Amino acid sequence: MNTTLLAQVDIDELPPEVVDSLPDDIVQQLKDGVLDAIPEDIVDSLPSAVQDKIPEGLLEAASSNPTFTKVLLVIGVIAVIGFIFGVVKSAIKWMIYSAIVGVAAWYFFFQQ
């Protein structure tokens, strides 16, 4: 977690209307150093007048860590490929099993 942003912008230096608009747990987490930026969904829920008063250093965005975003994208693509491979593999197994049962049924049917 990047703590340099907290050193640059202290929660006590924020305007009181910004601190009052934030949920209590977010304010506490910012004070404790658990969060180094205000989550994007919290910022979106604030009025635009309050959003403009938040310093850029405390805004969290998806592009704030492009390497992490790329890693998540790669993991997501691999997961989708794995899912599709698993479904296809399962379908092929079922077709082979059904073919064996069908051939056995025809074989025993014509033996009588």
3-state secondary structure of 38: strand
- The confidence score (pLDDT) of residue 57 equals 57
Tell me the C-alpha distance between 96 and 89, whole Å.
11
Distances in whole angstroms, Cα of residue 31 to Cα of each of 2, 12, 25: 14, 9, 10
For residue range 67-79, what is the model confidence (pLDDT) as tens digits?
Answer: 877 888 999 999 9
Domain ranges of the chain: 4-62, 65-111
Tell me the C-alpha distance between 7 and 33, whole Å.
10
- The confidence score (pLDDT) of residue 8 equals 37
Taking residues 69-93, report their average pLDDT: 94
Tell me the C-alpha distance between 11 and 55, whole Å.
10
Taking residues 89-94, report their average pLDDT: 97
Q: Is the pLDDT reported for residue 52 higher than 60?
A: yes
